[in-house]
Chains A and B, each alone.
Chain A
Amino acid sequence: MIMKTAFALFAALTLASAALAVEVGKPAPDFTAQDINGKTIHLSDYKGKIVVLESYNSDCPFCHNQYKTGAMQAMQRDLTAKGVVWLLVNSVNPKNFSHRTPEQAKAEMAQEKMDVTAWIDDSSGAVGHLYDMKTTPDMYVIDKDGVLVYEGAIDNQPDPVHDPSKAQNYVNAAIDALLAGKTVAVAETKPYGCSVKYAD
């Protein structure tokens, strides 16, 4: 009970600090994390490049819909080819059956033909909480100067059954604007999807 209260307090504090730290138009907070290959990743390593953060859980039908239609992989391929860094963040806690060990994650990445820069193993929820990731998928776009320019839903169809290629994709739109040197028109939307399944 005390543990739970303490955790809730901790979570509230982290959330509170995250709420202060993450804001569209402000510098995106740096983090240090491990990817599934054991490599240490600092967000600051990618300064000078556009970075996409994707909160991920393939058992979540909203994520799965993006992957089973191949839309997400196509987008990853397309953007990484343009020099964009794509960091997939999996914050599902180890007790949840949707949790993936690094081995399972590597297999899933190969099977789903994902094309991401790194899959961050965030079982502790540190990155997810820092960015106040609410759902899977919850998307973040950070510009070359390290400023958060987009946060929210991947597209304008908050359901797990639509054809993503026909939806209006906010992440693509944001990156197109950045690459064209324009300001991002839709900078913030309400994320939709499943809850992240943080540890509690």
Chain B
Amino acid sequence: VRRIGILFVACFCLAALTAHAAHTQAQLMLSADTARPGDTIWVGVDLKMEPAWHTYWKNPGAAGMATKIEWQLPPGITAGETQWPLPEKLPPAEVTTYGYNHEVVLLVPLKIAADLKPGPLLDLKAKVSWLECKEACIPAGTTVEAKLNIGRETKISTDAATIDLWKSKTPQTNDVYSLSAWWEKPANGDTRPLIIGNQPAMVAAKNVKYDSVDFFPDASDQFEIQAATEIISAYSADIRLRKLVKKYSGDWPKEVSGVFVTSVHGNPPQGIQVKFPISDKDPASEAVSRTGVAPVSNFSGQNMETGKMPVLPLMLLYAFIGGLILNIMPCVLPVIALKILGFINHGQHEPLRVRALGLVYTAGVLVSFLALAAVVIGVKAAGHHAGWGMQFGSPVFIVVLTTLVTLVSLNLFGVFEVNLGGQALSAAGQLASKQGAPGAFFNGLLATALATPCTAPFLAPALGFAFAQSSSLILLIFLFVGLGLAAPYVVLSWNPAWLKFLPKPGAWMEKFKIAMGFPMLATAVWLFNLAYDYYGKNVLWLGVFLVVVAFAAWIFGELFQRARARRGLALVIALILLIGGYAYALEDQLHWRTPMVIADATGSLQESPDGIHWQRWSPQAVTEARSEGRPVLVDFTADWCLTCQVNKKIAIEIPSVRQKLKELNAVALIGDYTHFPDDITAELNRYSRAGVPMVLVYPKDVDAQPIVLPEVLTPGIVLGALNRATKQ
């Protein structure tokens, strides 16, 4: 029996080696039946594998072999580089390979010489060899052929759509993530950890969280980038993944290339062809100036280009002025200023001692600001990989800040109080009244402690800016706030005679406080205006929410803080208002965490004055436009769909397409799938799509079926479809 077993195995091997494409069928397909001299057409090598069998990508990974194509082409036709659709990672984990299950179409551009004469049908032949594997592997191969006519006009073949579909599965070349790579650590023997990522971007661009990000490297003899990927952060604005590189010979690689892969549940994974040098360390540690610019451009809701003004000095100035103004803010001034002015007053006869005390006070302030900065840095470090940068990629930050600034102005108006408790203040008085250096130092600490709940104008933008910075810049900005806070005392301790210029505390302070509420209110309005960029007309609901918050604050201040009876009831009402306002206005109406710009039912939505004149999609809108004999372009998109945004940016909202739409008098409709409306789900199902992106082009001819564009678009695909839409 065993002998038979061996015989069987031997036969199997023999059969396997001689079998032609036993488990894989190969054929050639052309994008055009007829091509003009000078054209470039696409040829697809279609490999259909039996279930459970697979073939390999250009980098097969730890085992396997890349499929090879050897062309035998008539003179005048030359084959370009093979384009490989995005492969899958195939198990087992310890020997991961990259390959294709079921089917793959490898794409090759064929250049037809301009001087080629139209004549008899040309034979295009390719010898294709591959390794097909299930549990075992079998090398196989065959010769495939197709015939091409050279004529005066290009005629698209019936396979063109299939080729387009597979072309959409090949990696894009445009690196929308600004990726780079750097060594995380020195080598440990033959292996070394490599980080691939981008610098956390604070631009207002949409920040998408991917279910997974990965990197499929190109093959190399010198080193191997191992298949296992450790995802550190999968947000589009803060991508970070760790790969182990194993070196076989030579130096550590200076450059890496491959495909960066992102996937979001329910969408096919997307690949981007990338190639970048490997730096020795994280570029973030060097690029202070770069990150120093970005967040402010975020803050003004514009793109990075406009952020080139010297932001840092301006922010340091804001920080200083903010600190200075803190002195006359109600929470600091009445208590501390007088005490310190006291020590200056008392010490008029000992100028040296007063100066020393002034410096000690400054030291106290600075030390406490350093501590604050350390807290911020610590929080930031802890939160970084959990997506700290995320808040800058989303308008959530602006909503929170608008609400906060509104509350501060209400506080200044006296609608409610922020009191850290009377005990703290009296304890402070006790300690600070001590004479000498400890008293002055403690005054410094206390001034800061009291200043923290009190936001002054200028301080908010400076601190908002600080939160997005590298550790050293956070320190610097906090120190400047501290310097601002301490400055008057240093100046006065140097020259106590100037005390006479200071206004005496009194009723004016209350008026001043209220007056300061207006600049804060102005800040709130400015922030509110920024929120418009994210929410469009829906920003109304943020306004409604702010009014509810204001009302709740008034109830809190008037009927809880200052009242004697039924205070509990007032607190409950204030809380109910807050929670209700939040749930209805922010969550239900504004969708504040997932903003989108919604066009109203009739209006158009233009991204810029010369942008496409988008209108909202509805089945009626399509019927109406077609009844007028106009072609229709429909873009089904969603806010969370990065492919949709990329499509729009590189293939739809571009001058050539705008021009074409105008020329054809076409109607452009946008269907927003961000919140899964049923009518769009139905429309997607109609075209057997599980989700967006889906772009349709309806021809002029009312009876013709719409052209369904591939998921990943190029300008050529869109323009081609629009052309076809008017020809038919």
A residues with a Cβ closer than 8 A to B are 8, 11, 15, 19, 23-24, 58-62, 64, 96-98, 101, 103-104, 107-108, 111, 134-135, 152, 158-161, 186-198, 200
Q: What are 29 inter-chain pairs, A to B, with CB distance below 8 A?
A: A19-B191, A23-B190, A24-B190, A59-B13, A60-B136, A60-B137, A61-B139, A64-B17, A97-B135, A98-B136, A103-B2, A104-B5, A107-B2, A107-B6, A111-B6, A134-B63, A134-B95, A152-B248, A161-B129, A186-B249, A187-B249, A188-B247, A189-B221, A190-B224, A192-B65, A194-B133, A195-B62, A195-B63, A195-B92
Contact pick for B139, options A58, A97, A160, CB 8 Å: A160
6 further A-B contacts with Cβ under 8 Å, apart from A62-B137, A104-B9, A200-B92, are A15-B94, A61-B131, A111-B10, A134-B95, A152-B248, A187-B249
Closest-by-CB residue of A relative to B96 is A195
Residues of chain A contacted by B94 (CB below 8 angstroms): 11, 15, 134, 198
A23 and B13 contact, Cβ closer than 8 Å, known pairs A59-B136, A134-B62, A160-B131 = no
Let me know if A194 and B63 touch, CB within 8 A.
Answer: yes
Query: Does A98 lie within 8 Å of B135, measured CB to CB?
Result: yes
Which of B3, B136, B138 interacts with A97 by CB under 8 Å?
B136
Residue from A103, A160, A161, A195 having most chain B Cβ neighbours under 10 A: A195
A70 CA to B514 CA, complexed, in Å: 96
B92: chain A residues at CB < 8 Å are 195, 198, 200
C-alpha gap A135/B96 in the complex (Å): 11
Within 8 Å of chain A (Cβ to Cβ): is B64?
A: yes
Q: Which of B135-162 contact A (CB under 8 A)?
A: 135-139
B313 within 8 Å of A (CB atoms): no
A189 touches B249 (CB 8 A): yes
CA–CA, A186 and B63, complex, Å:
20
Minimum Cβ distance to chain B for residue A15 (Å): 6
Question: Chain B nearest CB: distance from A36 CB in Å?
Answer: 13
- B52-68 CB mask vs A (1 if < 8 Å, else 0) is 00000000001111000
Question: Across the interface, do B6 and A189 meet the contact criterion of CB distance under 8 Å?
Answer: no
For residue A200, which residue of chain B has the nearest CB?
A: B92
Interface residue B120 (Cβ < 8 Å from any Cβ of A): no
Which residues of the partner chain B approach A188 to less than 8 Å between Cβ atoms? Answer: 190, 247-249
**B residues in contact with A111, CB < 8 Å:** 6, 10
CA distance A187 to B16 in the complex (A): 34
Once A101-B2, A160-B65, A160-B131 are accepted as A-B contacts, the answer to whether A194 and B13 lie under 8 Å apart by CB is no
| Contact of A194 (CB < 8 Å), options: B5, B64, B189, B224 | B64
1-48 of chain B: CB within 8 A of chain A: 2-3, 5-6, 9-10, 12-13, 16-17
Q: Mark B99-140, 1 if CB is under 8 A from A, else 0.
A: 000000000000000000000000000000101010111110
User: Are the CB atoms of B62 and A135 closer together than 8 Å?
Assistant: yes
Task: Report which B residues bind A (CB closer than 8 A).
Answer: 2-3, 5-6, 9-10, 12-13, 16-17, 62-65, 92-95, 97, 129, 131, 133, 135-139, 189-191, 221, 224, 247-249
Q: Is the pair A194, B136 in contact by a Cβ cutoff of 8 Å? A: yes
Secondary structure type dominating chain A contacts: loop
Instruction: Find chain B residues with CB under 8 A from A192 CB.
Output: 63, 65
Which A residues touch B17, using CB under 8 A? Answer: 61, 64
Please report the C-alpha to C-alpha distance between residue A15 and residue B244 in the assembled complex, in whole angstroms.
Answer: 14
A134 contacts across to B, CB distance below 8 A:
62-63, 94-95
Q: Which residues of B contact A64 (CB under 8 A)?
A: 13, 17
A195 to chain B: which residues have CB within 8 Å?
62-64, 92, 95, 97
Query: Do A23 and B189 touch across chains, with their CB atoms under 8 A apart?
Result: yes
**Pair A158/B65 contact, Cβ less than 8 Å:** yes
CB distance from A155 to the nearest CB of B (A): 12
Please tell me which one of the listed residues B6, B131, B224 contacts residue A108 in the complex, with CB atoms under 8 A apart: B6
CA distance A186 to B64 in the complex (A): 23
Give min CB distance, A186 to chain B, whole Å: 6
**Taking the nearest CB of chain B, how far is it from the CB of A83, in angstroms?**
28
A23 to B190 CA separation, bound complex (whole angstroms): 8
> Which residue of A24, A59, A159 contacts B9 across the interface (Cβ within 8 Å)?
A59
- Are the CB atoms of A194 and B137 closer together than 8 Å? yes
Distance to closest chain A CB from B602 (angstroms): 56
Residue of A nearest to B5 (CB): A104
* Interchain nearest-CB distance for B40 vs A (Å): 30
Give the shortest distance, in Å, between A183 (CB) and chain B (any CB): 13
With both beta carbons as reference points, the residue of chain A lying nearest to B246 in the complex is identified as A190
Kindly list chain B residues whose C-beta atoms are within 8 Å of the C-beta of A198.
Answer: 92, 94
| Chain B residues whose CB sits within 8 angstroms of the CB of A194 once the complex forms | 63-64, 133, 136-137
CB pair B13–A58 under 8 Å, yes or no, is yes
Once the chains bind, are B138 and A190 in contact (CB under 8 Å)? no
Residue of A nearest to B93 (CB): A8
Query: Which of chain B's residues has its CB closest to A24's CB?
Result: B190
Q: Which residues of A contact B191 (CB under 8 A)?
A: 19
Q: How far is the CB of B473 from chain A (nearest CB, A)?
A: 40
Bound Cα distance from A158 to B56, whole angstroms: 13
Q: CB < 8 Å: which of B3, B12, B93, B95 contacts A135?
A: B95
Looking at the assembled complex, report how far the CB atom of B120 sits from the nearest CB atom of chain A, in whole angstroms: 34
Closest residue on chain A to residue B138 by CB atoms? A61
C-alpha spacing A160/B95, complex, angstroms: 18
Instruction: State the Cβ distance, B247 to closest chain A Cβ, in Å.
Output: 8
Indicate whether A190 sits within 8 Å of B248 (C-beta atoms), given known contacts A59-B13, A98-B136, A134-B95: yes
Q: How far is the CB of B2 from the nearest CB of chain A, in Å? A: 5
- Report how far A146 CA is from B392 CA in the complex, Å: 58
Min Cβ gap A20→B in Å is: 9
- B133 — which chain A residues lie within 8 A by C-beta? 194
How many Å from the CB of B43 to the closest CB on chain A?
Answer: 23
- Chain A hits for B63, CB < 8 A: 134-135, 192-195
B249 to chain A: which residues have CB within 8 Å? 186-189
Residues of A within 8 A of B139 (CB): 61, 159-161
Residues of chain A lying within 8 A (CB to CB) of residue B13: 58-59, 64
For the complex, what is the distance from the CA of A189 to the CA of B222, rounded to whole Å? 7
Provide the bound-state CA to CA distance between A134 and B63, in Å. Answer: 8
Bound-state Cα–Cα, A101 to B16, Å: 22
Contact of A104 (CB < 8 Å), options: B2, B135, B221: B2
A123 smallest CB distance to B (angstroms) = 15
CB distance from A161 to the nearest CB of B (A): 6
Cα separation A92 to B635 with both chains bound (whole Å): 52
Please indicate the chain B residues that have their CB under 8 angstroms from the CB of A186 in the complex.
249
What is the minimal beta-carbon distance from B439 to any residue of chain A, in angstroms?
59
Q: Which of B5, B95, B129, B138 has the most CB of A within 10 A?
A: B95
Nearest B residue to A14, CB-CB: B94
Smallest CB-CB separation from B64: which chain A residue?
Answer: A194
A23 to B187, CA, bound (A): 14
CB distance from B592 to the nearest CB of A (A): 40
Q: Which residue of B lies closest to A64 (CB)?
A: B13
Contact of B65 with A159 in the complex, beta carbons under 8 Å: yes
Cα distance, A58 to B92, chains bound together (Å): 20
Chain A nearest Cβ from B386, distance in angstroms: 25
If A98-B135, A161-B139 touch, whether A190 touches B65 (CB-CB below 8 Å) is no
CB distance from B21 to the nearest CB of A (A): 14
Q: How far is the CB of B133 from chain A (nearest CB, A)?
A: 7
Report B-chain residues with C-beta under 8 Å of the C-beta of A161: 129, 139
Pair A196/B95 contact, Cβ less than 8 Å: yes
B-chain residues with CB within 8 Å of residue A189 when the two chains form the complex: 221, 248-249
In the bound complex, CA of A64 to CA of B9 (Å): 13
Residues of A near B16 (CB, < 8 A) are 61
Chain B residues with Cβ below 8 Å from A58 are 13
Please give, as numbers and ranges, the residues of chain B lying within 8 Å of A103 by CB-CB distance.
Answer: 2
Closest 4 CB pairs of A and B: A195-B95, A195-B63, A160-B139, A188-B248
Question: How far is it, in angstroms, between the C-alpha of A1 and the C-alpha of B695 when the chains are bound?
Answer: 42
Residues of chain A within 8 A of B62, CB atoms compared: 134-135, 191, 195
